[in-house]
Structure 1
Amino acid sequence: MMGIGHRLAVLLFFTLLVLVGYNVLDDYGISWDESIQRRHGRVSLDYAAEKLGIEHETLEPNYDLEDYQWANYGMIYQILASLIELNMGVEDDPFVYYRIRHLINFGLYLLALGCFYRMLRLRWPERPWYPLLGTVMLTLSPRIFAHAFFNPKDHLLLVFYVIASFTLLRFLKVRSWSALLTHAFATALALNTRLPALIILFATVAILVWEQFTGGRKGYRELLMAASYPVVSLLLMIPFFPYLWEDTLSRLIGAFSEMSDFDWGGYNLLFGDRIAAVDVPAYYIPAWIVITTPVAYVLLSLTGGLQTLRHSWVAIRRGRLWKDFATQCYFTQSGLSIGPIVVVILLGSTLYNGWRHMHFVYPGLVYLALVGFAYWRRLYPPVAAAILTITLAVTAFDMVRYHPHQNVYFNYLIHGEPLVSRFDMDYWGVGYREALTRLANSVPEGETRTVNCANWPCQDNLLSLPQPLRGRLRSEGDENRADFLATNFINSDIEAAFRHEGRYANPVIEIKPAGILTMGIYRLKSAE
C-alpha cells in the first residue's frame, strides 16, 4: 500500500514535470518532419471530412489521400492537431500551430510516463518507491526528453507502445474481458501510430497461446481471448485510420507491405563511418543506445536482462518460460524491448538518423534497468543506492547544460575528436530556433537581415519565429546576396567543404551544447 508521503512525492514529481515542460516548451525548435507531418494530417482530415459529408475549407493544394504517397501511415495525432489548429483559427501562424503540436507531444509524453509508473506498480506493489524511481530514470533520459517536444513520429510510437505495454501487463494480471478490451484499444492506437506496434499484437497472442501448452492457463475462455483480441484491435484501428475506410483489407495489406519494404538512399554517420541506411551493420542500433544512454542505465539494463535469462532458464527446465507474474513481467518486457532490435538486425531493416526509429523500445530497457537495480540493491544496498543517486544527479545536470539540445547528448564513453565529424548530430535542425532567435534579437528594430539556409528546417524555423522577431530576418536563396549563412552541419563532407572554402571565417553565432558544435550562423563575404 502507498503511504501519504509516497502519494505526495508522486504528485509533486508529476506537477514539477508539468511546470518544467510548459516553461521550456518554446525553447525547442521545429524539426525537419513537422511541416510534412502537418500536411499529412490535413490531407487525412480533408479525406475524412469528404467521406463523412462535412463541409470545411480544404488544404491548398488539394491532395487526394487515395493517391497520396504517405497514405499508408496512420494519422490520428496529426488529425487531432489539425482539428485543434483549425478550431483555434491559427492555421496562418506557424509559431502558434507548431507550439500546439509541441504541447500535445509533451502531454502525450506525460501520459506515457503515468502509464509507465502504473506498469511498474504492477510488478512492485510492495515497494512503492521503485515505480517512482523507474519513472524518474525514464524522465532523466536526455535524448528521449528532447524528442518528447518536437518529434512528430517516433515519439508517438514510444508513447502508445508504453501505453499498450502497460495494458498488456494489466490484462495478464487481472485476466478480465474489460482489461482485454482496454488493451485492444491501446493496441489499435499504437498500430495507428506506426505499424511496428504489431509486435504488441503478436506478443499478446503468443503469450495466450503458449499458456495453452504449458499448463499456465488452459481453457475455452483463454482461447477465445486469443482469437478475439487481434480482430478487435484491427477493427478499433480503422475508425482512426481514414485511408482504411474503403477497400479495407487490400489497403491494410498494402500498408503492411510498404512498411516492410521501405527504402531510403541516404547515409548515416557513426564513429566517423558513412553507413548506407539500407545496409546498416548489426552493431548499429546497440552502439547508438550504448553511447547515448547514461552509462549506469546501460549496465543496469544488462543486469536486468541477465536476470530475466536466469529466471527463464529455471522456468524452462520446468517446461515454462516464467514461474509467476513477476518473472512473466520480466520476460514480456525483455521481448518487447530486445525483440524488436533483434528483428531489425535479422531483417536488415532500413534505419537512419541515429536510433530514433527504435526509441519505442527504450522504456522497456529502463524497466529492465530497474530489475537490475533491484538485484544489486539486494546484494549491496548502500552502494547500489549511492551509484544510482549520483547517476540521476549527474544526468539531470547534463540535461541542464545541454538544454535545449538534449537530442545531441552523448554519455561519457564518447570524447576526443569533434563529434560533428563522427556522428549524426542535430539532423532534425531543431537548434535553428535558438540560433535564429539570437540573430534576430541582434538586428535593430525596423531593420531586416537576410539568411541563406543550408536546408529546409532553417527556413521552417525562420518562418515560425515569434511574431515580434519574424520581420527582422528573411530567407535568401542566393548566397551571393545574403548577409548570413545558417547551417546545422548535417553532412560532415559539406562541413569540411564549407570550412575549406572559408565560409566559416566570420562566425556570428555558434551553438555548442556541452562544448559540442552542432550549428552555426556565419557572416558571408557578400555582407562585408
Structure 2
Amino acid sequence: MPDLFRFRFFTSSSQWIVGGFFAILLGLGLWLHDDYGVSWDEPNNHLNGLVSAKYLAQLVAPELVARQPSSHLIPDIQNFADADHGVAFELPLALLSFVFTHGDSQAFYRLRHACVFLVFVLGIWALYQLAKQRFESWRWGLLAALLLVLSPRFFAEAFYNGKDIVYMALFTLAVYTLTRLLQRPTLGRAVVHGLTTALAVDVRVQGLLVVLVTLLMLSLEARYRPRVERSHLLRVGGIYSVAALVFTVLGWPYLWALPWQELLAATQRISQYPWEGRVVYFGQVLRGTQLPWHYIPVWIIITTPLPYILTALAGVGAWMWEISQRGRASLSTFAGRLDLLFISWLLVPVLLVIGLRPVVYDGWRHLYFIYPALVLLTVRGVHTLATVARQRPPWRPVAISAILLVGGGMIHAAWRIARDHPHQQTYFSILPPSFAQRNFDLDYWGLSYRQGLEWVLAHDLAPTISVYSPWPSGHLVYTNSLILPPTDRARLRFTNHPNADYILTNYRYRTQPFPDTTGREVHTIRVNGVRILSVFQRSGK
C-alpha cells in the first residue's frame, strides 16, 4: 500500500508540475503577445491567406464575393506570386480575422501574434513528449521544453514568425506522431501521422522530408520486428502515404487551382527560390546567392546559448561512442533508433544546405525546424553527464561542472530574455557588441520600428508627423504603424523623401553609422550594447 500511494503521489505531482509549466507558458504568451512589432513578412503572409480564402469563397458563393467592396484588392490565386506558399496557418487565421477583427489592423496583429505563440506552445508540447518518450521520464521532457523556451531568439520569434516558428512546431509535432507510430504501428496512428505531415507540408513544402524520414524509419523498424509483422508495417506505410497525400491536397487550395504541369514548375521554383536580397556576414554585404558554406553553422553557433551547443556536442559524442562500441546492435533498442532519428534530424538538413547551396538568408531561420533536435541532443548530453556522475566517481566533478554550466546557461538566457524584451530577436550568444554591430545583420525583421514610432508619437505632440526610412526597410515604418492605435496611426504621414520630420533606420545592409547630415540622433534602441534602431530628427524641427 505505501508503494502504491507513493506511485500515485509522484504521478499526480508530475501532472501538476507539467500542467503548471504549460499554464504559466500560455499565461506568459497572453501577457506579452502585444509587445512586439510587425515583422517584414507578416502583411504578405496574411495576404496569402486571404487569397486562398477568396478562392474558397468563390467556389461556394461567387456572387457574395463579387459584392464585397474590397474583394478586388485581393488577387486571384492564379495571379498571386506567392500562392505556392502553404497556407495551413494563414488560411485559418484569415478566417479568424474576418470573424473577430473586422478590418482593424491592430486587433488583427494582436490576434496573429497570439496564434503564432499558441502554435509554438504546441511544438513545445510535442518536444516535451519526444524527450519524455526517449528518456522515459517527464523530468527530462520538461528540461527539453525549458531549453526551447529559454532560447532568446526563439522566444521572440514565437510571437510573430508565422513561417519558420510555425513550421518548426508542426515539424516537431510530425516527428512526435512518427515516434508514436513506430512504437505501435496501428492504422489509426498512421492516419494521424499523415495529418500532421500534411500540416507541415502545407506550411512549407520542405515538410515532404517527413514523408521520406517516415518511410526510412518504418523500413528500419521492420528490420527489428518479427517477420510476421513486416507485412503489417508495409500496410501502415501505404495508409500513411495515402493519408499524407490526401490531407496535403485538402489543406492547400493552391493545389486545387492549378493544373499538375504548373504545380511541378512551382515545386521547382520553391526549391530554387529566386531571392535577390543581401545579408551582412562578417562585415561584408553579400547576395543571398553568394553565401559561403559556413554561413549556417556560424549563425547557429552565434545565436544559440553556448552551453546548449557544447552539451549537444557531448550528446552527439555519447552517441558516436555507443555506435563505436556496439555497432549495429545500438539500433536494436527503440531508444537507439530514436537517437539515430534525432541525429539525422539535426545534421542532414545542415549538410544538405552546405552541399547543395540553396538560397538561404536572414540568419538560419530556414533551418529553425532542426533546433528541437539540437535541444534533444542537449538533453542527451545532460543525461549522459548525469549517468557519468552517478556511476564513475573519478569523473564526477567534471560531469557535475558541465551540468552546472548548462544550468547557468539557462539562467543567463532567462535573464537576457527579460532584460532585452521585446527585442530578443537580436540576441547574440558569444559575440562582443561592437563586433556584432559591424559584422552581422541585426533587426532584419524590422520589429524595432514599432518602438521607434511610439517614441516619436510620445515626444512630438504635433497633430501630423512625417516619417521616412531609407531603403531597403522603408515599408517597415508603415508596416509597424499597423499595430498602433488608430488615433496614433492618424497622426503619421509616410514619405519617400529624406526631408521628413523624423528618419528611422534599423541599419539593414549597413555596417557603419549614418553621417551627421542625416539629422540629430534623438533616440536609440540598444540591445546588450548593440544599436538596432536610430531615430533622427531633421534640423529645424
2:393 corresponding residue in structure 1: none
Matched, 1:77 2:93: no
Bigger mean CA deviation after superposition, 363-372 or 431-440: 431-440
Q: Percent identity?
A: 28
**Which of 13, 16, 19 is the equivalent residue of 1:5?**
13
CA distance change for structure 1 residues 248 and 309 in 2, over 3 Å: closer, same or farther?
farther
TM-score in terms of structure 1 length? 0.93
Which blocks of at least 5 consecutive residues in structure 1 are unaligned? none
> 1:335 aligned to 320, 323, 344, which one?
344
The answer to whether the aligner puts 1:35 opposite 2:47 as a matched pair is: no
C-alpha contact 2:191 2:239 (8 A) present in aligned 1? no
Q: Cα offset for 1:447?
A: 2.5
Note the 1:459-474 alignment, pairs <5 A: 459-474=478-493
Partner Cα distance (2:241, 2:355) in 1? 25
Q: Does 1:521 align with 2:535?
A: yes
Higher deviation after alignment, 462-471 or 516-525: 462-471
**d(CA) in 1 for partners of 2:59, 2:98:** 19
Contact 2:110 2:483 in 1 (8 A): no
Mark the runs of 5 or more structure 2 residues left unpaired by the alignment: 1-6, 390-398
Greater CA deviation, 258-267 or 58-67? 58-67
| 2:170 is the alignment partner of 1:160 | yes
- Contact preservation (8 Å) 1:109, 1:159: yes
1:262-300 deviation per Cα after TM superposition (whole angstroms, max 9, x unaligned): 121222212213333113222111110111000110011
Alpha-carbon deviation of 1:215? Answer: 6.0
1:448 to partner: Cα distance: 2.5
Change over 3 Å in CA distance of 1:368–1:251 after alignment to 2? farther
Is 1:434 matched with 2:451?
Answer: yes
**Counterpart-to-counterpart distance in 2, 1:101 and 1:153:** 12
Q: Which residue of 1 aligns with 2:520?
A: 506
Deviations 1:135-193 (Å, cap 9, x if unpaired)? 00010001111111111211111111111011111111122211111111000000000
Which deviates more, 58-67 or 148-157? Answer: 58-67
1:51 to 2:73 alignment: no
CA drift of 1:219 comes to 1.9
Cα contact 1:200–1:336 (8 A) shared by 2: no
Decide whether aligned partners of structure 1 residues 220 and 34 sit closer, same or farther in structure 2, where only a CA change above 3 A counts: same
- The Cα offsets for residues 202-248 of structure 1, whole Å up to 9 and x where unpaired, read as 00101222444566765211122223322320111111101111456
Q: Which residue of structure 2 aligns with residue 198 of structure 1? A: 208
Q: Are the counterparts in 1 of residues 218 and 233 from structure 2 also a CA contact under 8 Å?
A: yes
Cα distance between partner residues in 2 of 1:123 and 1:333: 10
Taking structure 2 as the reference length, the TM-score comes to 0.91
User: What is the distance in 2 between the residues matched to 1:463 and 1:101?
Assistant: 13
Q: CA contact under 8 A between 1:420 and 1:492: conserved in structure 2?
A: no
CA distance in 2, matches of 1:185, 1:165: 12
Q: Name the CA distance, whole Å, in 2 between partners of 1:100 and 1:89.
A: 8
Structure 2 equivalent of residue 393 of structure 1: 411
Query: Which of 11, 18, 24 is matched with 2:26 structurally?
Result: 18
- What's the counterpart of residue 507 of structure 2? 489
The corresponding residue for 1:272 is 283
SS at match of 1:259: helix
1:309-360 Cα distance to aligned partner (Å, 9 max, x none): 3334455445xx7121111111111112221111111111101111111111
Aligned to 2:467: 451
Return the offset for 1:128: 2.2
**Structure 2: which amino acid aligns with 1:289?**
I
- Report the CA distance between 1:84 and its aligned residue: 1.0
Write the distance in 1 (CA, Å) between the matches of 2:435 and 2:353.
Answer: 30
Matched position secondary structure for 2:315: helix
Match of 1:60 in 2: 72
Q: 1:483 to 1:516 in 2, by over 3 A?
A: same
Specify whether residues 317 and 99 from structure 1 end up closer, same or farther in structure 2 by C-alpha distance, changes over 3 A only: closer
The answer to whether the Cα contact below 8 Å between 1:164 and 1:183 also exists between their aligned partners in 2 is yes
Q: Hey, what does 2:147 align to over in structure 1?
A: 137
C-alpha distance after superposition, 1:76-99 (max 9, x if no partner): 2111111111112522x2111111
AA partner of residue 530 (structure 2): I
* Partner Cα separation in structure 2 for residue 261 and residue 23 of structure 1: 39
Q: Separation in 1 of the partners of 2:444 and 2:530? A: 14
Distance 1:332 1:369, change over 3 A: same
- Structure 2 SS opposite 1:518: strand
Using the alignment, how far apart are the partners of 1:67 and 1:290 within structure 2?
A: 40
Residues 364-411 of structure 1 deviation map (CA, whole Å, 9 limit, x = unaligned): 110111001101111236434422222211110011111111100001
Residues of 2 paired with 1:80 and 1:292: CA distance? Answer: 32
Conservation of the 8 A alpha-carbon contact between 2:153 and 2:427 = yes
SS state at 2:197 partner: helix
RMSD of aligned Cα (Å): 2.0
Against the structure 1 CA distance between its residues 31 and 285, is the aligned structure 2 distance closer, same or farther, given a 3 Å change threshold?
same
Structure 2 CA distance for aligned equivalents of residues 121 and 317 of structure 1 = 24
